[in-house]
Amino acid sequence: MLIKLSGEALMGDRGYGLDPDFVSEVASEIRNAHQMGVQIALVVGGGNIFRGVSSSAVGMQRSRADQMGMLATVINGLALQSAMETLGVETVVQTALEMPKVTEAFQRDRAVAHLNENRVVIFVAGTGNPFFTTDTAAALRACEIDAEILLKATKVDGVYSADPVKDPAAQRYDRLTFTEVLAKDLKVMDLTAITLCRENALPIGVFSIYEKGALAAVLGGQPKATIIEEG
């Protein structure tokens, strides 16, 4: 299983950066799921620190802005690793940008070996290339390690027809197909990520990281989530 965790999720109630208490809560949720005997990998975003797309929109060169965003994901990955290890969960960070004095470089076989040794693996720095989101990185890494499902941790308990915060009448979906996601233009993940998952028959589950026990519920077969797969 691979979990896509946005950088914004690690802010907690703050407007920027990391909330150490909430990072610890997220780590606890992952630890509980890991204790169920599930192999867990994660891809972490960096939007709580720096978002390349928005920065390039105001004049910064896109490739450089995306590289800065990749570095932000490394910070988040290391913070989450520290919180996981405080809870006694052996955790490895692998980066798509080589930085041997900081962490291990991404290598598919080593990642799988770590998972088989009961370690949690956190993938950072996206794909290592500009113009690709961490959504796409999550879909790519999930396919590379033969994950059975890609879980996207969000602020809400699934996929809605509109933003439920702004539209109380928004419809929540329990199940969707990839075709429906594309036809309805639902903003689950970017188009490249959705297409990659569809082409590789990789289901996506969308759940709330803010709801305590939601991750374990998904793994226990009682999902408080929207499941997306081809019908």
Asked if residue 192 belongs to a known ligand binding site, the reply is no
Asked if residue 158 belongs to a known ligand binding site, the reply is no
Asked if residue 160 belongs to a known ligand binding site, the reply is yes
Asked if residue 22 belongs to a known ligand binding site, the reply is no
Asked if residue 195 belongs to a known ligand binding site, the reply is no
Count Cβ atoms below 10 Å from residue 32 Cβ, excluding itself: 15
CB burial readout 203-222, b (16+ within 10 A) else e: bbbbbbbbeeebbbbbbeee
Asked if residue 129 belongs to a known ligand binding site, the reply is yes
> Which residue, 228, 193, 212, is CA-closest to 45?
193
Asked if residue 46 belongs to a known ligand binding site, the reply is yes
Asked if residue 179 belongs to a known ligand binding site, the reply is no
Asked if residue 133 belongs to a known ligand binding site, the reply is yes
Radius of gyration for the chain, computed over Cα atoms and rounded to the nearest angstrom: 17
| Helical H segments across 35-169, by residue range | 52-57, 62-86, 108-116, 134-144
Asked if residue 134 belongs to a known ligand binding site, the reply is yes
Asked if residue 5 belongs to a known ligand binding site, the reply is yes
Asked if residue 66 belongs to a known ligand binding site, the reply is yes
Asked if residue 17 belongs to a known ligand binding site, the reply is no
Asked if residue 128 belongs to a known ligand binding site, the reply is yes
Rounded-to-integer distance, Cα 223 and Cα 94, Å: 29
Asked if residue 80 belongs to a known ligand binding site, the reply is no
Asked if residue 132 belongs to a known ligand binding site, the reply is yes
Asked if residue 213 belongs to a known ligand binding site, the reply is no
Asked if residue 200 belongs to a known ligand binding site, the reply is no
Rounded-to-integer distance, Cα 226 and Cα 49, Å: 28
Asked if residue 131 belongs to a known ligand binding site, the reply is yes
* Binding site, annotated residues: 4-7, 46-47, 51, 66, 127-134, 154, 160, 163
Instruction: Show binding-site residues for ATP.
Output: 4-7, 47, 51, 154, 160, 163
The annotation places the binding site for UMP at 46, 66, 127-134
